[in-house]
Amino acid sequence: MNGFRMTQIGNSTNHISIMNNCHTSFGTINSQERRIDEFIEIIRRVCKCNELKLHEPFFSGNEVKYLESCISSNFVSSVGKFVNKFEKMLADLTGSKNVIATVNGTSALHLSLLCIGIKPEDEVLLPSLTFVGSANAIRYCNAIPHFCDISENDLNIDTSKVRDYLKLIVEKHHSYSINKFTKHRISAIMPVHLYGQPVNMDEMLSIASEYNLTIVEDAAESLGSYFKNKHTGTFGKIGCISFNGNKIITTGGGGAILTNDSKLARMARHLSTTAKISHPWELSHDEIGYNYRMPNINAALGCAQLEMLSELRKNKRLLHSKYKKEFDDVPWVKLIAEDKNANCNYWLNTIVLQVNKTSFTKKLIQGCHEKQIFIRPSWKPLHLLPMFKSCPSSDMSTLTKLQDRIINLPSSAYL
């Protein structure tokens, strides 16, 4: 075990012999099994639960009360007091001037991209390590996802690599940037606060301003995460949250758009309600809109869940500190932790195995699943998926190195 830690500080001669030693010891079936057992014991000590799902919702407040009130009022669909209340609560929490609740996070991203004026064939930069919905939303606009590498520290988009990359590929014009190689406009960047870890938004804002890129923040996973005390999703022109069943709080299915730009907010609200012209009885629409408005019944659940957010967040941070205490002594596991400027919701605790053996990752996951511990590997990088293979992408050396070593741990707020 110590061998691996020493490889990082040893001189070159020691380095080789220790590496060999480490590989040999990691390669033996017995040592791998010992490590899997050790890992399972740690998870059990931290979580104190037999069957461990990755992330389950937790309902312990006014959920049933609000749902009953919603049902008894007959306002279960896209109009009702809970939608407005939910939006107001989100605005208060995040500090965003405007909030538009939607049917899910992907529709929030889609609408946001449309509202900032993304055109067909525009390129939008985003990390290759994210949920497929981030890139799908770009394709729904007939725009082109342009994939970037991740940082080893927080697994978010690597801002310093993006800066170097843009220097190479961008032809700067007065108010816009063109990709020299594809001749398409690079019009936006979508930082994703992955697993709840805030992206360094100082860096992101500076890159966006240098290249005239609009920032659409994918804060789907980061409700309750802050960068320098400002809520994620509120740094760019527009930001999006998801309230899917697996998120820190849930509305069943749901999402929200955050923006301080009131004109954009009006446009998003209008498009999310099928572009219907507001009138007491006439039914008319003035453009192609979308049926993306969050139903009242989902918002009722959301209001009750939001009331619980600070408690859920506290529990999740406590769970992270327990994982940290255990994994600090395990050199073959690196637990991703917040940066000094970040305050993270720890939606999903995430580790990077410090061993380059795909077969071990598979064995570890299988060993855990056999014991009812449902850990999960990270998504397959999007630039490798068949529908995105031909999209432009930067050098992917870090993601290529890490892709088979990233694992999400059980992280439910009740643990």
Ligand X SMILES: Cc1ncc(COP(=O)(O)O)c(C=O)c1O
The one among 255, 331, 367, 392 contacting ligand X by CB under 6 A: 255
Closest separation between CB of residue 111 and ligand X, Å? 12
Q: What would the x/- binding string for ligand X be over residues 198 to 237, using CB under 6 A?
A: --------------------x-xx----------------
Q: How far is CA 64 from the centre of its chain?
A: 28
Closest separation between CB of residue 54 and ligand X, Å? 13
Q: How many CB atoms lie within 10 A of CB 290?
A: 18
Q: How many CB atoms lie within 10 A of CB 253?
A: 18
Which has the closest alpha carbon to 134: 126, 122, 123? 126
Pick between residue 255 and residue 381 the one whose CB is nearest to ligand X. Answer: 255
The one among 244, 305, 361, 378 contacting ligand X by CB under 6 A: 244
Q: What would the x/- binding string for ligand X be over residues 331 to 370, using CB under 6 A?
A: ----------------------------------------
The one among 78, 106, 349, 378 contacting ligand X by CB under 6 A: 106
CB 392 within 8 A of CB 146: yes
Which has the closest alpha carbon to 90: 82, 190, 103? 82
**Residue 365 burial by Cβ neighbours in a 10 Å radius (0-12, 13-18, 19+):** middle
Q: What does DSSP say about strands 350-353 and 185-189: parallel, antiparallel, or unpaired?
A: unpaired
CB 140 within 8 A of CB 134: no
Closest separation between CB of residue 85 and ligand X, Å? 20
Q: How far apart are CA 257 and CA 238, in angstroms?
A: 7
Element holding 259 (H helix, E strand) = strand 255-259
Closest separation between CB of residue 242 and ligand X, Å? 3
Q: Judged by CB under 6 A, which stretch of 99-107, 142-150, 206-214, 369-377 contacts ligand X?
A: 99-107
Q: How far apart are CA 268 and CA 49, in angstroms?
A: 43
Closest separation between CB of residue 251 and ligand X, Å? 9
Pick between residue 251 and residue 296 the one whose CB is nearest to ligand X. Answer: 251
CB 334 within 8 A of CB 153: no
Our finding on whether 57 is near ligand X (CB under 6 A) is: no
Closest separation between CB of residue 257 and ligand X, Å? 12
Six-digit token string for 188? 């936006």
Closest separation between CB of residue 400 and ligand X, Å? 20
The one among 114, 192, 396, 406 contacting ligand X by CB under 6 A: 192
Q: How many CB atoms lie within 10 A of CB 175?
A: 6
Residue facing ligand X at closest CB distance:
105
The one among 128, 242, 272, 412 contacting ligand X by CB under 6 A: 242
Q: How far apart are CA 242 and CA 204, in angstroms?
A: 21
Closest separation between CB of residue 219 and ligand X, Å? 8
Q: How far apart are CA 284 and CA 22, in angstroms?
A: 70
Pick between residue 235 and residue 332 the one whose CB is nearest to ligand X. Answer: 235
Closest separation between CB of residue 234 and ligand X, Å? 17
The one among 7, 96, 134, 159 contacting ligand X by CB under 6 A: 134
Q: How far apart are CA 240 and CA 343, in angstroms?
A: 18
Helix (H, G, I), strand (E, B) or coil at 73: helix
The one among 133, 196, 233, 392 contacting ligand X by CB under 6 A: 133
**Residue 221 burial by Cβ neighbours in a 10 Å radius (0-12, 13-18, 19+):** buried
Our finding on whether 156 is near ligand X (CB under 6 A) is: no
Site of interaction with ligand X (CB under 6 A):
104-106, 130-131, 133-134, 192, 218, 220-221, 242, 244, 255
